[in-house]
Amino acid sequence: MYTYQTKIKLHETDAAGVLFFSNQFKLVHDAYECVLESIGFGFAELLNNKSFFLPIVHAEADFKMPLFVGDSIEIQVYTTHVGQTSFALSYNLLNPKQELVGTAKTVHVTVDKITKNKISLPKDMRGKVQELYKQDNK
């Protein structure tokens, strides 16, 4: 499991100061970027030095409880599947009381930068993602 910490900002809320629903995806994507960075595949590395992209081909989220401006939150990121060409991550969003306030899931597919065709997950990245998977599912 990877843990990401952040705080709910005013621009992420609606007029009532409650997290705007689509911003749950923004928050989990921020956590996803940090996960990639932690395993050596940050976006700068992917864009500048790798021959593949990792587009999201499926995303889902569930709202459980509201979050408000100033709330410190924790996002727990779990690898839930590693396939031949893709992997899936699941996210738990926790409020300051460690209550589950939302969940999300994203599926990422490996795509060749030039051809835009789906390709096998590169060996070096596969190892890192599988390592996270093993840690998450012990």
* Active-site pick, 14, 30, 62, 112: 14
pLDDT at residue 100 in the model: 96
Determine whether 115 is exposed, middle or buried from the number of CB atoms within 10 Å of its CB (0-12, 13-18, 19+): exposed
Per-residue pLDDT tens listing for the chain (138 residues): 889 999 999 999 888 878 888 899 999 999 999 999 999 998 888 888 989 999 999 999 999 999 999 999 999 998 999 999 999 999 999 999 999 999 999 999 999 999 999 999 999 888 888 887 765 555
Record the pTM. 0.90
Count of residues for the chain? 138
Is 14 annotated in the active site? yes
Range of the structural domain that residue 118 is part of: 2-136
Q: Residue 27, Cα to own-chain centre: how many angstroms?
A: 8
SS3 137: coil
pLDDT at residue 136 in the model: 54
Instruction: Give the C-alpha separation, 97 to 99, whole Å.
Output: 5
CATH, residue 80: 3.10.129.10
Please give the tally of structural domains in the chain.
Answer: 1
- Token digits of residue 5: 């910490």
End-to-end CA distance of the chain: 10
